[in-house]
C-alpha cells in the first residue's frame, strides 16, 4: 500500500506530472492515429474504365440514394417516367419495358402511381437494395470500402489508448485527493478532452475508405467536362446519366433537365424580398393624401380593394367615397 502512495509518479510535483502526462497523451494519440489508418491507402487505384457503370459509381458516391436517383433519372431520359409539376409518374405511351435493365424495371414498376419527388426517391431506394448489395461486394473486392474488421480494429485501438490515458490520469488524481490536494482541474481537463478526441477519431465511420475517396475524386476529375457538356446541350443520354451518378442531381441545375433538379431542390425566394415588396406597396398606396385621401384617386390601381382592405387596413377607409 505504501508503494502506491509513494513512488516516482505519486510523489512527482504537480506541474512536472502535467508535463509527463501531456507527453504520454501526445504519444498515445499519435500512435493510435497511425494504427487506425487505412492499410490500403497507399495501394494503386483501379484504372478508370472506358465505359463506367453509372450505378456502381452512384453507389460509391451515395449508396442506395445514389442508385435510386440515377435509376429515376435514367427512366426519365428514356421516356418511361415523366416530371409533371412536383410529381414523378409513368409516361402513358412509354417504350417497351423489356428494354430496361432489371434494376430500372424494378424502379419503374414501383412508381405505379404519380408520387412526389421525395416519395419516389424513397420507393426507389427501397427497391434497389438487393442490387446495391452486388455493387457493395464489387467495391469491397476492389478494396474501396471500409471493412467491418478494420472498424473493429479502430475501436480496439481507441479503447486501449483511452485506458492508458485514463489509468495514468486517474491514478494521479486519486493520489492527489488522498493527500488533500484539490487543484486537479487541469489534470481532469487534459484527460477528459484527450479521451473524447480519441473516441471521436476511432469511431468515425465512412463507407468509403481513403482509397475509395481518392478513386471517387479521380473519377470526378476525369469526367468533369460532363458538367459543361450538359449545360451546352452537347451531352449524350449516357453522359447525362453518368453526370448524375458522379455529381448528383445538383449537377442538372441550368441544364435542359433542370425541372428534375427543381423538384428535389425547389428555388427559394428570400422572404425579406416579399416583405419589402408588401411594405413598399402599402407605403406607396396609402402613405399620402394623393393615394387614398382624395376621392379622385380612389379608383386607381394604387388603392385597389386588396391594398385598401388588407395592406392598408383602416388607413384607406376614405376610399369608400368620402
Please name which of 88, 60, 51 lies closest in space to residue 248, comparing C-alpha atoms: 60
All three cell numbers of 261: 433538379
pLDDT digits 0-9 by tens, 22-39: 999 999 999 999 999 988
What is the C-alpha to C-alpha distance for residues 59 and 57, in angstroms, rounded to an integer?
5
User: What pLDDT is attached to residue 268?
Assistant: 63
Instruction: Determine whether 36 is exposed, middle or buried from the number of CB atoms within 10 Å of its CB (0-12, 13-18, 19+).
Output: buried
Q: How far apart are CA 131 and CA 124, in angstroms?
A: 11
- CB-based contact 104:74 (threshold 8 Å): yes
Name the grid cell of 224.
468533369
| pLDDT tens-digit map of 232-253 | 888 888 999 999 999 999 999 9
Whether 92 shows a pLDDT value over 50: the answer reads yes
Residues 145, 63: contact at Cβ < 8 Å?
A: no
Spell out the domain ranges in the chain.
1-37+147-203, 54-143+209-263
Query: Is there a contact between 269 and 277 (Cβ–Cβ < 8 Å)?
Result: no
Q: What is the pLDDT of residues 175-228, one digit of tens each?
A: 888 888 888 999 999 999 999 999 999 988 788 999 999 999 999 999 999 999
For residue 70, pLDDT beyond 90:
yes
- With cut-offs at 50, 70 and 90, classify the pLDDT of residue 77: very high
pLDDT value at position 218? 95
Per-residue three-class SS string for 111-175: CCCCEEHHHHHHHHHHHCHHHHHHHHHHHHHCCCECCHHHHHHHHHHHHHHHHHHHHHHHHHHHH
pTM of the model: 0.70
The pLDDT, as a whole number, for residue 1 is 59
Cα gap 279→135, rounded to integer Å:
56
Beta strands in the chain, from DSSP E residues, in sequence order: 81-84, 87-90, 115-116
pLDDT surpassing 50 at residue 321: no
- Is 90 exceeded by the pLDDT of residue 53? yes
Q: Are 201 and 14 in contact (CB under 8 A)?
A: no
Distance CA 10, CA 264 (A): 63
What's the pLDDT tens digit per position in 121-165? Answer: 999 999 999 999 999 999 999 999 998 888 899 999 999 999 999
Q: Return the pLDDT at 27.
A: 97
| Model pLDDT for residues 255-313, shown as the tens digit of each residue | 988 888 888 887 765 444 444 334 444 444 434 333 434 443 333 333 333 333 333 34
Contact 302, 284 (CB under 8 A): yes
Q: Does the structure show a pLDDT above 80 at 9? A: yes
Amino acid at each position: 500500500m505504501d508503494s502506491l502512495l509513494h513512488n516516482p509518479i505519486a510523489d512527482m510535483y504537480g506541474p512536472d506530472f502535467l508535463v509527463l502526462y501531456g507527453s504520454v497523451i501526445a504519444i498515445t494519440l499519435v500512435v493510435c492515429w497511425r494504427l487506425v489508418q487505412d492499410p490500403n491507402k497507399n495501394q494503386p487505384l483501379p484504372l478508370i474504365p472506358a465505359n463506367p457503370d453509372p450505378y456502381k459509381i452512384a453507389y460509391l458516391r451515395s449508396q442506395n440514394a445514389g442508385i435510386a436517383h440515377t435509376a429515376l433519372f435514367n427512366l426519365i431520359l428514356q421516356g418511361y417516367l415523366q416530371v409533371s409539376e412536383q410529381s414523378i409518374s409513368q409516361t402513358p405511351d412509354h417504350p417497351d419495358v423489356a428494354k430496361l435493365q432489371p434494376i430500372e424495371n424494378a424502379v419503374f414498376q414501383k412508381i405505379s402511381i404519380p408520387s412526389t419527388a421525395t416519395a419516389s426517391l424513397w420507393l426507389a431506394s427501397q427497391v434497389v437494395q438487393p442490387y446495391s448489395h452486388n455493387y457493395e461486394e464489387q467495391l469491397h473486392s476492389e478494396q474501396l470500402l471500409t471493412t467491418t474488421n478494420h472498424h473493429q480494429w479502430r475501436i480496439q485501438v481507441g479503447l486501449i489508448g483511452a485506458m492508458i490515458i485514463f489509468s495514468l490520469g486517474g491514478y494521479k488524481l486519486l493520489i492527489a485527493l488522498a493527500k488533500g490536494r484539490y487543484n486537479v482541474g487541469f489534470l481532469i481537463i487534459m484527460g477528459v478532452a484527450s479521451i473524447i478526441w480519441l473516441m471521436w477519431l476511432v469511431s468515425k465511420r465512412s463507407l468509403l475508405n481513403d482509397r475509395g475517396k481518392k478513386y471517387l475524386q479521380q473519377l470526378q476529375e476525369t469526367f468533369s467536362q460532363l458538367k459543361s457538356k450538359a449545360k451546352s446541350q452537347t451531352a449524350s443520354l449516357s453522359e447525362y446519366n453518368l453526370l448524375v451518378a458522379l455529381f448528383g442531381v445538383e449537377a442538372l441545375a441550368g441544364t435542359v433537365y433542370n425541372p428534375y433538379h427543381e423538384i428535389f431542390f425547389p428555388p427559394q425566394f428570400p422572404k425579406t424580398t416579399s416583405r419589402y415588396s408588401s411594405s413598399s406597396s402599402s407605403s406607396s398606396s396609402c402613405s399620402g393624401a394623393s393615394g387614398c385621401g382624395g376621392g379622385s384617386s380612389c379608383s386607381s390601381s394604387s388603392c385597389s380593394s386588396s391594398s385598401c382592405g388588407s395592406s392598408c387596413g383602416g388607413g384607406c377607409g376614405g376610399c369608400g367615397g368620402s
